[in-house]
Amino acid sequence: MNRRSLPIALLLLACACGLSGQWPYSFGLKGGVALANQSYRITAIDQELDTRAVTGPTLSLFVEAFKSAHFSVQIDVGYAAKGSTTTTRSLTVNHLANDQITINEGEAARSDFTYLSVVPLARYRWDLEPVCPYLLLGPRVDFLLRYDSESEYPLEEQNQYIWGLSIGAGLEYRLLNLGFFAELQYLPDLSPVTREEPLLINNHMLSLCLGLRWIVSGE
């Protein structure tokens, strides 16, 4: 199912464009670096665990259509690497000492989650030729591709897909039918990585990308 998400997403957009009588306005590619972290919470005792951010690559293909004076619709389909590191090995709760919590630490262990992301976005732009600043906002679904962990206690069950938001801004420079751009996105998740009680894990990611847009239609 995960590997079929890219062609399915592009096919759906192509069908929608065909039904509306509108050919896609542009195609493109963007890639860069992502700063990812995770929040770990033990729900039974309402205890947050300390984590540190990790960096990884991000790469996306996109297609844009339904262009109006300022708005358009864009679908991004891409690869995202998320995760975190932590030195926490276990927790001890002493119920005889007013539920005192002792955090047992060790060497840092890294956990990596890789996803295929499908993101339908509303794109608002200001056409100040040759410069074009823009804003992005839309829902996101991440399909789990791979999970790796250095922890002594790796997760046994992960959600195969998780929902989130994509919020971004960019600046594009137009040259003939090409656009060269830099883009910053914040990607919080709305659903957890796992629901293994009592552990609740959520992803957070910030990405910085450079990209190339090929404008194929003047409409």
Q: What is the pLDDT of residues 164-199, one digit of tens each?
A: 999 999 999 999 899 999 999 999 998 888 766 677
pTM of whole model > 0.85? no
**Rounded to whole angstroms, how far apart are CA atoms 173 and 183?**
12
Structural domain of 200: 2-215
| Peptide bond between residue 130 and the one before it cis (omega within 30 degrees of 0) | yes
Q: Provide the number of structural domains found in the chain.
A: 1
**Rounded to whole angstroms, how far apart are CA atoms 65 and 191?**
29
| Peptide bond between residue 198 and the one before it cis (omega within 30 degrees of 0) | yes
**Rounded to whole angstroms, how far apart are CA atoms 85 and 81?**
13
CB 122 within 8 A of CB 73: yes
CATH number reported for the structural domain that contains residue 201 in this entry: 2.40.160.20
Residue numbers of the chain with a pLDDT score lower than 70: 1-23, 43-47, 87-108, 152-154, 195-197, 218-219
**Rounded to whole angstroms, how far apart are CA atoms 38 and 127?**
37
Strands 54-65 and 71-94: antiparallel
